[in-house]
Amino acid sequence: MKPLLSKTTKPFLIYVLVVLMISIPVYYVVVDTIWKSELDEHNQIIVEKTAYEFNQLKLSDKELEEGLGLWNHIQPETNIEKISGDHIKGDSVYTNERHLPFISEQKKERYRCLKKVVYIHNKPYLFTIQTNIEETHETIAVIAMIAIFFFVMIVVGLLYLNRRLSASVWKPFRATLDQLKTFQLNSQTKIQFPASDTTEFEELNQSLYKLIEHNVSVYKTQKEFTENASHELQTPLAILKNKLDLLLQDQNLTEKQYRIVEEMNKALSRSSRINKNLLLLAKIENNQFDNSESIQFDHLLHQSIDILREHFEQKNIKVLEIIGSDIFVNGNSSLTEIMINNLVINAIRHTPSDGFITIQLTDSVFEISNSGTQPLNTDLLFKRFSKLSTVHNGSGLGLSIIQEICKFHHWTISYRFENNHHFFSVKI
């Protein structure tokens, strides 16, 4: 990913480069046209001035012929020759290329030429003058060098401005972004964006204030509803369960009635578990637990394994324990115990009979692996009430509770599937 200024700078530099490249031949055509116009004017002045000076000398015809011959000899770029009245034509301006005979290097030079009829002593003479033009490739080279120089200046300047603008102009935006990255709906702190004198950034902050305020209000309403509903349901659920337990003990029930009551009792027990788990999630999200205890993790793990030993034996599951000793962590012992129990129960529930479970604990990682046939859907893994297998006796909240407990303790839980084994790892 690239910063926004970098994405806008690159097209701009390409555009500038294209414009400068196009400008080089344009510069050349413009300069060459101006240069030719100046040379034409220069040649015109030389012709008129020369004719004027010869007329002012009041020379005889012989002296004039000798003077014109001397002029043509010492002025190689000009030529004055007498013409008859039948050959008088209009001025002719053109560009010519020729080799210089007095230069050893064989290269052509460009000349701007003018042929004009002048009158000296009232007689027509054809005056031809040629003036050297700056060479084309030298002009293009100079213009190209100047264009490249300014392009480099633009690139350096833009990169410098890009860095400065990124640090100053975008500073309020980055501050807002940092606030959003750390903001959590379940946190009690109120988000505060820095003030900005940029209209767009200030409008963004105000829109975010309204959006966050609305989301926080909705979140609090939902959370309060979950807490109240879970708490208020506890009592009627407990009463119903007690009544069903008493009904199951009634000797007058028929077999059909007994099965119906038993199914009702199972559904009610599952509802009670879901209600307790939702209430637990609400308390965790509200930070209603103390996390300053020093917990002996290996002791809680051994305790959980001993309690669930009967479940291992029922499914004939082999357990490999690689547990370090004296592993202490800071946190809440009740939540840590719930996390351990949920992970172990989850492994037992999804391990086939005669399967294998490995429980490992080190100073930094608590990991449980169990045999399986195919990987779990990681997109649904920690979502509430998501069904990852055909087992229906769970509440669908076990992994969600594990994830919330890990967040509460600032631990990280991850899942992977290797060699037909599921691995749940918690970095503690």
Please write the tens of the pLDDT for every residue from 259-274.
888 888 888 888 888 8
Flag whether pLDDT at 397 surpasses 80.
Answer: yes
Average pLDDT taken over every residue of the chain: 85
Q: What is the CATH number of the domain that holds 22?
A: 3.30.450
270: phi then psi, degrees, rounded to nearest 5: -65, -40
Reported as a pLDDT band with limits 50, 70 and 90, residue 294 is very high
Among 346, 366, 357, smallest CA distance to 297 is for 366
Together in a domain, 81 and 111: yes
**Among the listed ranges 326-330, 376-380, 421-425, which one has the minimum average pLDDT value?**
376-380
The pLDDT, as a whole number, for residue 391 is: 52
**Neighbouring residues of 233: CB distance < 8 A, sequence distance ≥ 6:** 275
Together in a domain, 253 and 328: no
193 within domain boundaries: no
363 within domain boundaries: yes
Together in a domain, 254 and 305: no
Read off the pLDDT of residues 154-191 as tens digits, 9 standing for 90 and up: 888 888 887 777 777 788 888 888 888 888 776 667 78
The pLDDT, as a whole number, for residue 99 is: 72
As to burial, measured by CB atoms within 10 angstroms (0-12 exposed, 13-18 middle, 19+ buried), residue 283 is middle
175 within domain boundaries: no
Reported as a pLDDT band with limits 50, 70 and 90, residue 57 is confident
Q: What is the CATH number of the domain that holds 340?
A: 3.30.565.10
First to last CA, the chain: 32
**Neighbouring residues of 281: CB distance < 8 A, sequence distance ≥ 6:** 226, 384, 397, 400, 401, 404
Flag whether pLDDT at 427 surpasses 80.
Answer: yes
Together in a domain, 208 and 338: no
Flag whether pLDDT at 285 surpasses 90.
Answer: no
161 within domain boundaries: no
DSSP string of 210-234, one letter each residue: HHHHHHHHHHHHHHHHHHHHHHHHH
Percent of the chain scoring above 90 in pLDDT: 29
49 within domain boundaries: yes
Average pLDDT, stretch 81-99? 83
How far is CA 359 from each of CA 106, 265, 316, 423, rounded to the nearest angstrom?
Answer: 92, 34, 16, 10
Instruction: Say how many domains are in the chain.
Output: 3
Read off the pLDDT of residues 141-155 as tens digits, 9 standing for 90 and up: 787 788 888 888 888
Together in a domain, 102 and 242: no
Q: What is the CATH number of the domain that holds 257?
A: 1.10.287.130
Reported as a pLDDT band with limits 50, 70 and 90, residue 395 is low
Together in a domain, 145 and 243: no
27 within domain boundaries: yes
Structure tokens at 157: 């300047």
Q: Which of 285, 306, 331 is the last residue of a domain?
A: 285
Read off the pLDDT of residues 11-34 as tens digits, 9 standing for 90 and up: 888 888 888 888 878 887 888 888
How far is CA 210 from each of CA 132, 172, 205, 325, rounded to the nearest angstrom?
Answer: 76, 18, 9, 52
Together in a domain, 248 and 357: no
| Domain boundaries, position 317 | 293-427
Together in a domain, 241 and 297: no
Euclidean distance between CA atoms 181 and 196, whole angstroms: 19
